[in-house]
Amino acid sequence: MSRFHLVDDFLIYCSRNEDFTRIVNLKTFEVKNINQILYNLLPKSINIFENIYYSTNGSKDNLVYDLKTGKVISKLVLDGDLQLNEKSFLLTKSNNNLTKYLKPTFEKSWSIELGNEINYIDFDRKEKAGEIKKVYNWENKIIVLTKCYLICLDSDGNIQYKIRFPDLLRAQTLVIHENNGFIYNYHDYVIIDLQKGELIFHKEIKSFKYEGKEFNNFAQDLTFHDGFLLHSVNSLGFSFILAIKPGTGETKWIKRITNKHINSIRFHKDKMYILDGDGTLYIHEKK
């Protein structure tokens, strides 16, 4: 298994060699195959809305699948790669250009080029071209995460504010909970008030101790669950899951999982699903 997704009582996954996609009914254990590799079967995948998978990769022959039946629903023609898949619209990215399409007709609503807005001065004091890392939908606004900036767009594609991150932070992912955005990449932990457009908290967390030994805290895969922010760390040949208190960055608990790299963390009902770099799925039940 290389990638998986859960929809109600269905487990959908790609084989480790990525040569097939399979649907398993977890109640009846009935198995169905899909004759196309669905590469983005990941936690919180932007290609999935409810039980529908949009197989969009910038080509002119994209297919839309029902993940419970494996059947093709329709074809879809878009420019760029999918960034948001919401109830009323799709948003795509081509280089640093964003385009919004309205459902159900997929008519183009607007397009914006952000290249000049996200360039930055790097560690070598030279200007570098920025890159859109991820895009999020929040309170009828679009939050754009780049290496060094967070940009907020309104529903019509107009820039509402732009925030520059601390000098050493190069953002990879953002977790949104209520009105706050959380970024935790390697040593830097940042909180942004999305309503006010302000960076309100920054803390460096360089290491943690486990069983009396100190490990570098190269935080990755941040996710919010049950009142805590959880992230994975791969350090000194071991992989851990750490839970931190959102407001302070204080570590509340640590679990050592495996000696392999952790690819993703997913919660479903009362269980935590952890996929490692060898394709092994670990399932931990809440006690």
Average pLDDT over residues 158-181: 90
| Short-list 51, 3, 43, 63, CA closest to 25 | 51
Distance CA 76, CA 228 (A): 38
**Would residue 167 count as lying in a domain?**
no
**Would residue 237 count as lying in a domain?**
yes
Are 251 and 241 in contact by the 8 Å Cβ rule? The answer is no
Are 213 and 227 in contact by the 8 Å Cβ rule? The answer is no
Distance CA 147, CA 171 (A): 5
The answer to which of 22-31, 37-46, 104-113, 205-214 has the lowest mean pLDDT is 37-46
Q: Which residue among 34, 62, 77 closes a domain? A: 77
pLDDT of residue 137: 94
Tell me which amino acid residue 52 is.
Answer: I
Residue 117, pLDDT > 80, answer yes
Residue 195, pLDDT > 90, answer yes
Residue 277's φ and ψ, nearest 5 degrees, are: -70, -15
Are 276 and 263 in contact by the 8 Å Cβ rule? The answer is yes
Average pLDDT over residues 198-226: 84
Are 52 and 62 in contact by the 8 Å Cβ rule? The answer is no
Name the token pair of 74: 């329709």
**Would residue 127 count as lying in a domain?**
no
Neighbours of 263 (CB within 10 A): 20
Name the token pair of 176: 């949104």
Cis peptide before 43 (omega within 30 of 0): no
Distance CA 167, CA 66 (A): 44
Q: What is the DSSP letter of 47?
A: T
Say which CATH number the domain at 39 has.
Answer: 2.40.10
Residue 116's φ and ψ, nearest 5 degrees, are: -70, -25
| Short-list 106, 137, 132, CA closest to 119 | 132
Using the Cα atoms of residue 55, residue 61, residue 65 and residue 69 in order, give the sign of their dihedral: negative
Domain count for the chain: 2
Domain that holds residue 243: 205-287
**Would residue 96 count as lying in a domain?**
no
Per the listing, tokens 């879809």 go with 76
Q: Which residue among 77, 105, 137 closes a domain? A: 77
Q: What is the DSSP letter of 68?
A: T
* pLDDT tens-digit series, residues 216-238: 777 677 888 888 998 888 777 78
Q: How far apart are the first and last CA of the chain?
A: 26
Q: How far is CA 2 from the centre of its chain?
A: 16
Distance CA 137, CA 122 (A): 28
Say which CATH number the domain at 234 has.
Answer: 2.40.10.480
Q: Which residue among 45, 77, 109 closes a domain? A: 77
The answer to which of 75-79, 119-123, 127-131, 198-202 has the lowest mean pLDDT is 75-79
**Would residue 264 count as lying in a domain?**
yes
Radius of gyration (Cα) for the chain, nearest Å? 20
**Would residue 176 count as lying in a domain?**
no
**Would residue 200 count as lying in a domain?**
no
Distance CA 175, CA 22 (A): 29
pLDDT of residue 170: 83
Return the SS3 of 35. coil
Per the listing, tokens 């071209």 go with 129
The answer to which of 131-140, 152-161, 239-248 has the lowest mean pLDDT is 239-248
Q: What is the DSSP letter of 199?
A: E
Comparing 277 with 174, the larger pLDDT belongs to 174
